[in-house]
Amino acid sequence: MKHRFLIGGLSVALTVAIAPAQNCVGNQDMFGTFVFSASRGFFTAPLPEPGPGEPVPVFSATAVGQLVKNASGNGPFAVAGRIVADGTGNLVTGPPDATVLSTRAGSYQVNPDCTVTMTIVDGYTQNVLGDVVARTSVTYQGVLRDRNNEASLAQTSQGGGSVIHLARPFLADSCRDSSLSGQYGVWAAGGQVIETVTESGTQVSLMPFSLAARFSSEGLGKLELDLAGSASPMPKRQITGTYRVENDCTGTAKFILDGKTYNVSFVLVRGGVNLGQFSRAAMMLALTDPKMGVAGEAK
């Protein structure tokens, strides 16, 4: 497409190339391993009371189980984990060290315009006989991004208000503590439930929470002050602590910041800074302490 502009009395013709929009064929456009971060930083409307005789849902302690449990509730939460799309519309998951993932985690549908619908269930919930007990599902709608390497979705089911972001893991497998190495800047934001005991009872309020800090790692499972951090004029922006990276690029950490300790669940993703030919991992993280709905990233 040509456009003609008049600049300083000169007519200049420019040829503008318009890139084609991202299009999709179907479920095969969402295929392979993804890591995710999901969160909600506020309260939604109260949930309806269960009807007489309705079974009580049971949730596993896995990342997918906690996602379904909290997203189907109405309070703040944040969680990070791994999920796999099989290219035909099924979602599966498994333990961090599993080479074959076979636990059902839901289904998805990719449309020609690259919009996506997704239903997530906790396939780990079984009784002593091996039967799956009553399960709750949560549904999301969103879009594929970055040529199908990422997806961002918003919750559409009961509870509502949560968002989930999926991205490719840093490595196909074999992530380890050394995958997190160097100096990182961290941001996170959301909400935190505060309970105050008064003479008239316990008052519950939701306060905004934000975090902006840095940490240094030598790839050995510790977050320590480096030379710059030790001499920083802003010591309350320096994170120390410990971390562990699992084989599937998920991980857990304890952030110690300004005298407080925060429990963190994270996933290592592509898209970190490039140092020559080396691409460093970035981190999507969730603060998983009770009554917190805080998510962010580190790069």
pLDDT digits (tens, 9 = 90+) for 57-107: 778 899 999 999 999 999 999 999 999 999 999 999 988 877 777 888 999
Closest CA to 269 of 103, 151, 122: 151
- Per-residue pLDDT at 10: 43
Mean pLDDT taken over the chain: 87
Band (pLDDT 50/70/90 cuts) for residue 127 is: low
Structure tokens at 197: 């005991």
Domain contains 209 = yes
- Per-residue pLDDT at 202: 80
Percent of the chain, pLDDT > 90? Answer: 67
Domain contains 4 = no
Residue 257's DSSP bridge partners are 260
Residue at which a domain ends, from 149, 167, 185: 167
- Per-residue pLDDT at 124: 78
Residue at which a domain ends, from 109, 136, 167: 167
- Per-residue pLDDT at 129: 54
Closest CA to 268 of 230, 299, 240: 299
Identify whether residues 54 and 157 lie together within a single domain.
Answer: yes
Domain contains 122 = yes
- Per-residue pLDDT at 20: 52
Identify whether residues 189 and 209 lie together within a single domain.
Answer: yes
- Per-residue pLDDT at 284: 97
Identify whether residues 33 and 154 lie together within a single domain.
Answer: yes
Please give the model's pTM, rounded to 2 decimal places. Answer: 0.85
Identify whether residues 82 and 206 lie together within a single domain.
Answer: no
Average pLDDT over residues 39-43: 95
Residue at which a domain ends, from 147, 167, 187: 167
- Per-residue pLDDT at 9: 45
128/101 Cα distance (integer angstroms): 22
Domain contains 79 = yes
Q: Is 7's pLDDT higher than 70? A: no
Band (pLDDT 50/70/90 cuts) for residue 274 is: low
- Per-residue pLDDT at 109: 98
134/106 Cα distance (integer angstroms): 14
Band (pLDDT 50/70/90 cuts) for residue 11 is: very low
Closest CA to 174 of 240, 119, 96, 114: 96
Identify whether residues 141 and 77 lie together within a single domain.
Answer: yes
Token pair 């990233």 in the structure block, residue:
297
Domain contains 210 = yes
- Per-residue pLDDT at 248: 94
Identify whether residues 244 and 129 lie together within a single domain.
Answer: no
Domain contains 13 = no
Closest CA to 207 of 292, 129, 141: 292
Domain contains 255 = yes
Q: Is 214's pLDDT higher than 80? A: yes
Q: How many domains does the chain have?
A: 2
Closest CA to 296 of 200, 213, 175: 213
Domain contains 243 = yes
283/299 Cα distance (integer angstroms): 7
Which range among 91-100, 178-187, 256-265 shows the weakest confidence by mean pLDDT? 91-100
The CA-based angle 220-77-99, given to 5 degrees, is 50
The CATH code of the domain that includes 243 is: 2.40.128
- Per-residue pLDDT at 12: 45
Residue 128 belongs to what domain range?
27-167
